[in-house]
Amino acid sequence: MSLTSSTPGQALRPLAGRSVALVHEWFGATGGSEQVFLSMADAVPHADRFVLWKDDDATVDGQLRQSWLAGTPLRRSKALALPLMPLAWRTLTRATYDVVISSSHAFAHTVKIGDPGRTRHLSYVHSPARYVWSPELDQRGGNPMLAPMRAVLRAGDRRLSRHVHSYAANSREVQARIRRCWGRDARVINPPVEVDYFRAAPEQVRDQGRRYLLGVGRWIPYKNFDLMIEIAAAARLPLVLAGGGPEEERLRGLAARVDVPVEFEVRPARERLRELYWGAIALLYPAVEDFGMIPVEAQACGTPVVGLARGGLLETVVPGETGFLLDTTDPAAYVDPLRRAARLPGAAALANARRFTPQTFQANLAAWLTDEA
């Protein structure tokens, strides 16, 4: 699966003739971190690719080598598998490599392969593990009963990552977390977004008119889809929720109790998602994200973004030009910004989205590899 149209081998040149391992956490139905991993694999096509396990509904071209966790029931429970992930990364393979590049949002950066005196380890970080380091950002890790385990995992996370030679972060937000959690510096390399694909919709899609508010993503608590329903009700505007996840039943119950139409698009195909972006008055994004590819995809369709003034949105949205950011979760506070967002020129949003193309990612990745590998 190729997600880029950059010049083949752009990032490969620094690694030509050297053995390379690419490692990623669990590989799910392709989301943001998986897209980055596949783009890195495009850049270094001769690399061996390792993951903890591949979900049954995930598809990928090429071979993924799975850890021993893939053969256990723990693959069906990330929370239960979490304490064993560092061990899995330390017992992944006996093969040796000149360069190891990890794509990490849990413990992949702790992977240790090869000769410590010879192997270079570079780690691209989507975020230090939210369950462990930022439970306030993700309710799934906020159970007080997990506090003792978090303390142990934090200490191990620091200790087991001392061999990493260089870090890259997907945003300034994550760069700051890396400094706070691990006491390390990191280069910022924003993820690749297929801006040209979302921009180049068929004419009938681009001319459909904008009729509803849109929420996109996995239906889990910290994404705040329940708040989106409240905002739509306050603004008296129709809402479309696109995605899927364990919150579906609860969200459908909430939607049935408001007096505006709320439609659910369950796991829409990419073409359908592009149509939904082009038909939206604005993308609602009242969540704290590490970076957030979805707001960039929306802007590539000329769609403004209205969300929280925290996390990755501070880097991807230009307030007053491509959307509005608020420091509140009061639904009523979003009504006026949504009306103003509807009048913003789509050309400004598209121009802003062009900062995050796959070509830019590949160029920045190549520079990092050249300097550090």
Q: Are 98 and 20 in contact (CB under 8 A)?
A: yes
pLDDT digits (tens, 9 = 90+) for 270-315: 999 999 999 999 999 999 999 999 999 999 999 999 999 999 999 9
pLDDT digits (tens, 9 = 90+) for 185-196: 999 999 999 999
Strands of 65-66's sheet, edge to edge? 65-66, 48-51, 20-24, 99-104, 120-125, 166-169, 187-188
Residues 312 and 212 in one domain: yes
Q: Sign of torsion, CA 221 224 228 230?
A: positive
217 is in which domain, residue-wise? 195-356
User: What pLDDT is recorded for position 66?
Assistant: 94
Number of domains, the chain: 2
Q: Over the chain, what is the mean pLDDT? A: 91
Residues 78 and 206 in one domain: no
Give the Cα separation of 269 and 324 in Å (integer). Answer: 28
Looking at the domain assignment, is residue 159 inside a domain?
Answer: yes
User: What pLDDT is recorded for position 219?
Assistant: 96
User: What pLDDT is recorded for position 3?
Assistant: 36
Looking at the domain assignment, is residue 5 inside a domain?
Answer: no
Residues 264 and 340 in one domain: yes
Residues 122 and 48 in one domain: yes
Residues 104 and 200 in one domain: no
User: What pLDDT is recorded for position 17?
Assistant: 86
In this predicted structure, which of 57-66, 90-99, 313-322 has the lowest mean pLDDT? 57-66
pLDDT digits (tens, 9 = 90+) for 304-349: 999 999 999 999 999 999 999 999 999 999 999 999 999 999 999 9
